[in-house]
Structure 1
Amino acid sequence: MKKDILNALRKLWSSQSSSKWSLDNLAKGQCGVTSLVVQDILGGEIRKTFLKEGWHFYNVINGVRMDFTEEQFSYIIDYQDIDSNRTEAFHDTNDGQYSYLKSQVYKLLGKVES
Protein backbone atom coordinates (compact mmCIF):
# COMPACT_ATOMS: atom_id res chain seq x y z
CA MET A 1 0.00 0.00 0.00
CA LYS A 2 2.88 2.40 0.81
CA LYS A 3 4.27 2.04 -2.70
CA ASP A 4 0.82 2.66 -4.25
CA ILE A 5 0.35 5.80 -2.16
CA LEU A 6 3.84 7.10 -2.98
CA ASN A 7 3.30 6.50 -6.70
CA ALA A 8 -0.04 8.33 -6.54
CA LEU A 9 1.52 11.24 -4.66
CA ARG A 10 4.36 11.57 -7.16
CA LYS A 11 1.82 11.78 -10.00
CA LEU A 12 -0.34 14.33 -8.17
CA TRP A 13 2.06 16.68 -6.39
CA SER A 14 1.86 20.01 -8.16
CA SER A 15 1.47 23.71 -7.57
CA GLN A 16 -2.14 22.84 -6.62
CA SER A 17 -0.87 20.94 -3.56
CA SER A 18 2.02 23.25 -2.59
CA SER A 19 3.17 26.70 -3.67
CA LYS A 20 6.79 25.53 -3.20
CA TRP A 21 6.46 22.69 -5.73
CA SER A 22 8.70 22.70 -8.80
CA LEU A 23 9.27 20.40 -11.78
CA ASP A 24 12.81 19.66 -10.63
CA ASN A 25 11.70 18.85 -7.05
CA LEU A 26 8.20 17.35 -7.06
CA ALA A 27 8.13 16.72 -3.28
CA LYS A 28 9.25 20.23 -2.32
CA GLY A 29 6.87 21.84 0.17
CA GLN A 30 4.56 18.82 0.17
CA CYS A 31 5.28 17.47 3.66
CA GLY A 32 2.40 19.00 5.63
CA VAL A 33 -0.33 18.25 3.12
CA THR A 34 1.09 14.80 2.40
CA SER A 35 1.29 13.81 6.08
CA LEU A 36 -2.38 14.77 6.47
CA VAL A 37 -3.54 12.75 3.45
CA VAL A 38 -1.42 9.74 4.43
CA GLN A 39 -2.91 9.84 7.94
CA ASP A 40 -6.40 9.93 6.38
CA ILE A 41 -5.61 6.73 4.49
CA LEU A 42 -3.32 4.77 6.82
CA GLY A 43 -3.97 6.28 10.25
CA GLY A 44 -1.03 6.52 12.59
CA GLU A 45 0.62 9.62 13.98
CA ILE A 46 2.12 12.79 12.54
CA ARG A 47 5.62 13.65 13.69
CA LYS A 48 7.96 16.54 12.94
CA THR A 49 11.64 17.34 12.77
CA PHE A 50 13.23 20.78 12.65
CA LEU A 51 15.45 21.30 9.61
CA LYS A 52 17.25 24.36 8.26
CA GLU A 53 14.21 24.94 5.99
CA GLY A 54 11.82 24.84 8.98
CA TRP A 55 9.52 22.15 10.33
CA HIS A 56 9.28 18.92 8.34
CA PHE A 57 6.22 16.69 8.83
CA TYR A 58 5.90 12.94 8.22
CA ASN A 59 4.03 9.89 9.48
CA VAL A 60 4.62 7.08 11.95
CA ILE A 61 2.36 4.10 11.30
CA ASN A 62 2.42 1.05 13.56
CA GLY A 63 5.71 2.31 14.99
CA VAL A 64 7.36 2.67 11.57
CA ARG A 65 8.48 6.09 10.30
CA MET A 66 7.16 6.77 6.80
CA ASP A 67 8.42 9.98 5.23
CA PHE A 68 6.79 10.20 1.83
CA THR A 69 8.50 13.53 1.00
CA GLU A 70 12.08 12.93 2.14
CA GLU A 71 13.24 12.98 -1.49
CA GLN A 72 12.83 16.77 -1.52
CA PHE A 73 16.04 17.11 0.51
CA SER A 74 19.56 16.68 -0.85
CA TYR A 75 20.85 15.51 2.54
CA ILE A 76 20.09 12.76 5.03
CA ILE A 77 17.57 13.85 7.64
CA ASP A 78 18.46 13.49 11.32
CA TYR A 79 14.94 12.68 12.52
CA GLN A 80 13.93 14.03 15.92
CA ASP A 81 10.50 12.33 15.88
CA ILE A 82 8.81 15.13 17.83
CA ASP A 83 5.11 14.50 18.47
CA SER A 84 2.90 16.63 16.25
CA ASN A 85 -0.71 16.66 15.10
CA ARG A 86 -3.05 17.60 12.27
CA THR A 87 -3.36 21.21 13.43
CA GLU A 88 0.40 21.78 13.25
CA ALA A 89 0.73 20.00 9.90
CA PHE A 90 -2.16 22.07 8.56
CA HIS A 91 -0.15 25.25 9.23
CA ASP A 92 2.05 24.06 6.34
CA THR A 93 -0.86 23.92 3.85
CA ASN A 94 -4.37 25.27 3.29
CA ASP A 95 -7.91 23.99 2.63
CA GLY A 96 -7.58 24.15 -1.15
CA GLN A 97 -4.27 22.28 -1.31
CA TYR A 98 -5.43 19.65 1.16
CA SER A 99 -8.82 19.10 -0.53
CA TYR A 100 -7.17 18.84 -3.95
CA LEU A 101 -4.52 16.31 -2.91
CA LYS A 102 -6.85 14.19 -0.80
CA SER A 103 -9.57 13.96 -3.45
CA GLN A 104 -7.09 13.15 -6.23
CA VAL A 105 -5.18 10.53 -4.22
CA TYR A 106 -8.44 8.84 -3.22
CA LYS A 107 -9.62 8.89 -6.85
CA LEU A 108 -6.34 7.44 -8.15
CA LEU A 109 -6.35 4.70 -5.50
CA GLY A 110 -10.04 3.91 -6.07
CA LYS A 111 -10.95 4.78 -2.47
CA VAL A 112 -14.12 6.41 -1.21
CA GLU A 113 -13.36 9.68 0.56
CA SER A 114 -14.20 9.79 4.23
Structure 2
Amino acid sequence: MTLEAVILALRESWGPDTCAPEDVADWTPDNPSRGQCATTALVLHDFFGGSLVMGEVIVDGQRVDFHWWNRLPDGEQVDLTLEQFGPHEHVVGAMEVVRPTGKTRMDTQYALLASRVTARLAQSA
Protein backbone atom coordinates (compact mmCIF):
# COMPACT_ATOMS: atom_id res chain seq x y z
CA MET A 1 0.00 0.00 0.00
CA THR A 2 1.46 3.35 -1.00
CA LEU A 3 1.15 6.60 0.90
CA GLU A 4 -0.33 8.22 -2.21
CA ALA A 5 -3.07 5.56 -2.47
CA VAL A 6 -4.04 5.98 1.18
CA ILE A 7 -4.03 9.79 0.87
CA LEU A 8 -6.34 9.61 -2.15
CA ALA A 9 -8.67 7.17 -0.38
CA LEU A 10 -8.78 9.41 2.69
CA ARG A 11 -9.58 12.54 0.67
CA GLU A 12 -12.33 10.68 -1.19
CA SER A 13 -13.81 9.37 2.07
CA TRP A 14 -14.25 12.60 4.04
CA GLY A 15 -17.77 13.81 4.73
CA PRO A 16 -19.77 15.61 7.37
CA ASP A 17 -20.34 12.23 9.04
CA THR A 18 -16.58 11.72 9.56
CA CYS A 19 -16.10 15.26 10.85
CA ALA A 20 -15.49 16.27 14.46
CA PRO A 21 -18.90 17.11 15.94
CA GLU A 22 -17.92 20.70 16.76
CA ASP A 23 -16.91 21.31 13.13
CA VAL A 24 -19.92 19.83 11.31
CA ALA A 25 -21.57 23.25 10.91
CA ASP A 26 -18.43 24.53 9.15
CA TRP A 27 -17.88 21.47 6.95
CA THR A 28 -18.59 22.00 3.24
CA PRO A 29 -17.68 20.17 0.01
CA ASP A 30 -15.47 23.20 -0.72
CA ASN A 31 -13.56 22.58 2.54
CA PRO A 32 -13.82 18.79 2.93
CA SER A 33 -10.87 18.50 5.32
CA ARG A 34 -12.64 20.65 7.94
CA GLY A 35 -12.85 18.72 11.18
CA GLN A 36 -11.15 15.62 9.74
CA CYS A 37 -7.72 15.92 11.36
CA ALA A 38 -8.00 13.48 14.27
CA THR A 39 -9.75 10.71 12.38
CA THR A 40 -7.48 11.17 9.37
CA ALA A 41 -4.34 11.04 11.52
CA LEU A 42 -5.55 7.84 13.18
CA VAL A 43 -6.36 6.10 9.90
CA LEU A 44 -2.99 7.11 8.43
CA HIS A 45 -1.37 5.81 11.62
CA ASP A 46 -3.18 2.49 11.14
CA PHE A 47 -1.46 2.04 7.77
CA PHE A 48 2.00 3.50 8.37
CA GLY A 49 2.60 3.79 12.11
CA GLY A 50 4.96 6.52 13.22
CA SER A 51 3.86 9.22 15.64
CA LEU A 52 0.73 11.25 16.15
CA VAL A 53 1.42 14.96 16.48
CA MET A 54 -0.86 17.58 18.01
CA GLY A 55 -0.72 21.36 17.89
CA GLU A 56 -2.99 24.13 19.12
CA VAL A 57 -5.34 26.10 16.87
CA ILE A 58 -5.11 29.76 17.80
CA VAL A 59 -7.62 32.48 16.85
CA ASP A 60 -7.19 36.03 18.11
CA GLY A 61 -4.58 34.88 20.61
CA GLN A 62 -6.83 32.20 22.14
CA ARG A 63 -6.62 28.42 21.78
CA VAL A 64 -9.87 27.30 20.19
CA ASP A 65 -9.05 23.71 19.33
CA PHE A 66 -6.33 21.15 18.69
CA HIS A 67 -5.01 19.95 15.34
CA TRP A 68 -3.62 16.47 14.65
CA TRP A 69 -1.26 15.15 11.98
CA ASN A 70 1.34 12.41 11.48
CA ARG A 71 5.10 11.96 11.61
CA LEU A 72 5.94 8.82 9.65
CA PRO A 73 8.66 6.41 10.83
CA ASP A 74 11.16 8.02 8.42
CA GLY A 75 10.50 11.44 10.00
CA GLU A 76 8.34 12.83 7.18
CA GLN A 77 5.49 14.97 8.49
CA VAL A 78 2.15 14.39 6.77
CA ASP A 79 -0.66 16.85 7.45
CA LEU A 80 -3.53 16.13 5.10
CA THR A 81 -5.94 18.57 6.71
CA LEU A 82 -3.90 21.74 7.27
CA GLU A 83 -5.76 23.42 4.40
CA GLN A 84 -8.96 23.38 6.47
CA PHE A 85 -7.86 26.49 8.32
CA GLY A 86 -8.62 30.04 7.26
CA PRO A 87 -6.18 32.94 7.44
CA HIS A 88 -7.39 33.85 10.94
CA GLU A 89 -6.60 30.36 12.32
CA HIS A 90 -3.02 29.44 13.18
CA VAL A 91 -1.60 26.09 14.26
CA VAL A 92 1.22 26.40 16.78
CA GLY A 93 3.32 23.82 18.55
CA ALA A 94 3.94 20.21 17.68
CA MET A 95 3.78 17.71 20.49
CA GLU A 96 3.91 13.95 19.95
CA VAL A 97 0.94 12.29 21.62
CA VAL A 98 0.11 8.72 22.51
CA ARG A 99 -2.65 7.16 20.46
CA PRO A 100 -5.88 7.19 22.46
CA THR A 101 -6.98 3.84 23.81
CA GLY A 102 -10.42 2.96 25.03
CA LYS A 103 -13.59 4.82 24.16
CA THR A 104 -13.31 8.35 22.70
CA ARG A 105 -15.82 10.89 21.45
CA MET A 106 -14.66 10.30 17.86
CA ASP A 107 -15.05 6.51 17.73
CA THR A 108 -18.02 6.55 15.36
CA GLN A 109 -16.39 8.99 12.94
CA TYR A 110 -13.08 7.10 13.02
CA ALA A 111 -14.76 3.73 12.37
CA LEU A 112 -16.71 5.15 9.44
CA LEU A 113 -13.66 6.82 7.87
CA ALA A 114 -11.50 3.72 8.35
CA SER A 115 -14.13 1.49 6.74
CA ARG A 116 -14.55 3.84 3.76
CA VAL A 117 -10.81 4.05 3.20
CA THR A 118 -10.43 0.27 3.40
CA ALA A 119 -13.28 -0.20 0.92
CA ARG A 120 -11.84 2.35 -1.53
CA LEU A 121 -8.41 0.75 -1.36
CA ALA A 122 -9.93 -2.70 -1.96
CA GLN A 123 -11.77 -1.37 -5.03
CA SER A 124 -8.59 0.06 -6.51
CA ALA A 125 -6.50 -3.07 -5.88
Q: What is the TM-score of this pair, normalised by structure 1?
A: 0.82
CA 1:78–1:56 in structure 2 vs 1: closer, same or farther (change >3 Å)? closer
* Larger proportion of strand: 2
* Identical columns (%): 29
CA 1:81–1:27 in structure 2 vs 1: closer, same or farther (change >3 Å)? same
- Provide structure 1 residue ranges, at least 5 long, that are not aligned to the other structure: none
Q: Among residues 60, 82, 87, which one is paired with 2:100 in the alignment?
A: 87
Structure 1 stretches of 4+ with a deviation exceeding 4 A read: 75-79
Number of equivalences: 109
CA distance in 2, matches of 1:43, 1:16: 25
Q: What is the TM-score of this pair, normalised by structure 2?
A: 0.75
One-letter identity of the residue aligned with 2:16:
S
Larger radius of gyration: 2
Structure 1 position 49 matched with structure 2 position 61: no
Instruction: Output the aligned Cα RMSD.
Output: 2.3
Residue 15 of structure 1 is matched in structure 2 by 16
